[in-house]
Amino acid sequence: MAKLLKVIGMSAILIAQSALLLAKPTKSRIQAAKHKKIVVDLSDKTLKFFVRGKLVKKYAVGIGKPATPSPIGTGYIRSKGDMIFRQTKGPNKGKIIIWTQIKIGRWVKIPYEEIRGFGMAIPGYNPFQYYIHSVTNPENIGKASSKGCIRMAIPDMLELYPLVDLRTKVIIKL
């Protein structure tokens, strides 16, 4: 889903475009995904990751605002990859942004390869519209401010990303 994102230290507003992998998972990864589950609880704005029914990790997340709510239902992770940000204004319009910076106690330069996400397929919803992805504005975590995507802090996504396989079950509930 296209997201507007104001980058600290730059006046441009950027649009995130997905460059997510649609590769076929291997047989072993399909088997591994059968034992994994992501549960997003919209009421307390959390994402929980389970393996074989055991809670492995819990994260605070941002969710869709009332006018553009996050989807509700059961589906699966259909894609994984980097989120690409492009300039939307000025002489560099359309050019890929290769880094941004965030403030986590201090200013940290983040290469765009670390802005990652998962594409979700939830029956009844556009499968190319909703993502679980990291954001550079940590103040959005714990709030209902997205256009339906589930937003995570960059360090949290970097921790979760290698644990999740394509076809991992996703449950989004109220």
Ordered domains of the chain (ranges, CATH): 3-173 (2.40.440.10)
pLDDT of 40-87, one tens digit each?
A: 999 999 999 999 999 999 999 999 999 999 999 999 999 988 666 566
What does pTM read for this prediction? 0.75
Tell me the longest C-alpha to C-alpha distance in the chain: 51
Cα–chain center distance at 49: 14
Q: How far is it, in rounded angstroms, from Cα 16 to Cα 46?
A: 23
pLDDT value at position 112?
59
- DSSP character at residue 162: G
Least confident of 84-98, 122-136, 155-169: 84-98
